[in-house]
Structure 1
Amino acid sequence: MYKKLMSKKFFEDNPYMENSVQRFIYSTLLYEELEDLANEITIKQGLLSDERLEHITREKELIQSEQNPEEIFQLLRKKTEMINRRLLVKKALAFEEVILPMVVDKLMRSYHDIFIENSIELLAKSNKNYSSLLMEKYTEIRSPYVQSLVCLILGFRGEEKIIPWMVDRFYEMKKLYPDESYDQGPLLALHELNSRFYGK
């Protein structure tokens, strides 16, 4: 229905940046196994000190044993070892009915990178699709970085009908923030929407 909006010329005229936070997050969402592989290599190659490994183990045990959604929510705001981040996200998803509404509410006002990036992964992987709510609340989001990453989620989970809206967000961010990479969120979302709905 909206394929003409995402023509070959559109993508040629607007190539995505190879190195941007949005590109990195897009890749980790698209290829989940890459993060697991990187973690496995890090441990097997002995790249971490004994002290660091001990800290990772203690943190892992803390995450696994925690059963209080409020505490898990707080952990999403704290710096976690990269090796344990996926575990934390999975733990939060086990309580998603309680935690995700809190995450969405906090995300509207957040400038905290750790929380933002954990939230994006949660919203991308949750059983419930929060696309409609995120679009409804989009204008309430204070940070353009969060807006950019929310667009990315919508690329993975939104319906075909959001494509014109996403094109508008791309041009809007490109105009408002010419020296930032915020436009990469909606641009990569359009790549994903194109792939999902038009097979390219």
Structure 2
Amino acid sequence: MKGKENMLNVKPKSLHVIGRNDSCFCGSGLKYKKCCMNKSENERRHIFEDINNPVVNEWLFYYYPISQFSAAMLMHARLVTPELTQIASNLTRSITSRGEEEAKQIRMEQNPIQLLQMLGRGLDNINYDLLISRLSEYEAQVTPALIEKLWNTEDDVLIEQGIQYLHQCSEFPLHEIEKLATEAPNPYIRSVLCLLLGFKGPETVLPIIWRQFHSLRSHYPLENYKEWPLYGLDEYGRRFGLLKS
């Protein structure tokens, strides 16, 4: 164990042991012995609290664990495996007539703005996958109209289903999403869009997700808004090789 005797003394089992001559976990590029080896636990934690210096690795999720049972987890799961929602909806339709008239209306509607109005109406849950599929037929009209709605809405259903639609868009409106994620007045919208950016954004979106995570964590300590950006950082880290798959 030569060279491994000065390891971090607080770590979950999933984290690798850091030796004196290993690269420091803080991302400085220095060896551990010349960087964070002799820092206190509070000093180590502060590394992950610098709003201007994103550090995404396994240690971030040690200091800020991801909640395994939360609304953010459910939204993340839906984005990872959207086909499961469709399978569940199809199974429900096969054993019940629930939502048939509503589904018929969605199939027949040819006006994309009318279809968009349905998104926040409180549809039967089994029909949202059908509605999003129809909306996707009119991306050129629907996407800018949805973005405009997201600036001022307080409708959680519209927000959540809108995220599902945007995730499936063939033309992802990156610039508009980045602007919403940093400037939207509704903190929930900023929060969930950071999750979406973790899935769809290029490497340049990391500072946006990072700053929103810390901003939402600081300004809303009694809310769970930080959970969506945290999942976004996890997804980003896996996509760009910062975390183990």
> For residues 71 and 151 of structure 1, do their structure 2 counterparts lie closer, same or farther at Cα, with a shift above 3 Å needed?
same
- In the alignment, structure 1 residue 116 sits paired with structure 2 residue 166: no
The one of 176, 181, 198 equivalent to 1:138 is: 181
1:154 counterpart residue number = 197
- The answer as to whether partners of 2:181 and 2:189 remain within 8 angstroms in 1 is no
1:7 counterpart residue number = 57
The one of 59, 62, 70 equivalent to 1:20 is: 70
More helix per residue: 1
Larger radius of gyration: 2
- State how far apart, in whole Å, the 1-side matches of 2:199 and 2:165 are: 13
> Pairwise mapping of residues 69-84 of structure 1 onto structure 2 (< 5 A)?
69-84=112-127
Query: Which amino acid counterpart does residue 34 of structure 1 have in structure 2?
Result: L
2:128 counterpart residue number = 85
Query: Which amino acid counterpart does residue 106 of structure 2 have in structure 1?
Result: I
The one of 25, 35, 56 equivalent to 2:85 is: 35
Give the C-alpha shift of residue 15 in structure 1.
1.0
- The answer as to whether partners of 1:110 and 1:142 remain within 8 angstroms in 2 is no
Higher RCO (C-alpha 8 Å, min separation 6): 1
Query: Which amino acid counterpart does residue 133 of structure 2 have in structure 1?
Result: K
C-alpha offsets along residues 79-110 of structure 1, whole Å, 9 cap, x if unaligned? 11111110000101111100110100110111
- State how far apart, in whole Å, the 1-side matches of 2:84 and 2:177 are: 27
C-alpha offsets along residues 49-97 of structure 1, whole Å, 9 cap, x if unaligned? xxxx2x5111111101111112111111211111111000010111110
- State how far apart, in whole Å, the 1-side matches of 2:58 and 2:182 are: 30
- State how far apart, in whole Å, the 2-side matches of 1:63 and 1:27 are: 25
Give the C-alpha shift of residue 35 in structure 1.
1.2
The one of 215, 225, 245 equivalent to 1:182 is: 225
- The answer as to whether partners of 2:190 and 2:212 remain within 8 angstroms in 1 is no
Give % identity.
Answer: 28
The one of 57, 60, 75 equivalent to 2:100 is: 57
- 5+ residue gaps, structure 2: 1-25, 28-54
What is the total number of aligned residue pairs between the two structures?
A: 191
- The answer as to whether partners of 1:151 and 1:186 remain within 8 angstroms in 2 is yes
1:165 counterpart residue number = 208
CA RMSD of superposed structures (Å): 1.7
- State how far apart, in whole Å, the 2-side matches of 1:122 and 1:157 are: 13
Q: TM-score, normalised by structure 2?
A: 0.73
- The answer as to whether partners of 2:112 and 2:141 remain within 8 angstroms in 1 is yes
SS in 2 for 1:79: coil
Q: Runs of 4 or more off by more than 4 Å in structure 1?
A: none
Query: Which amino acid counterpart does residue 66 of structure 2 have in structure 1?
Result: Y
Q: Report the more deviating stretch, 81-90 or 162-171.
A: 162-171
Give the C-alpha shift of residue 113 in structure 1.
1.3
- State how far apart, in whole Å, the 2-side matches of 1:67 and 1:41 are: 26
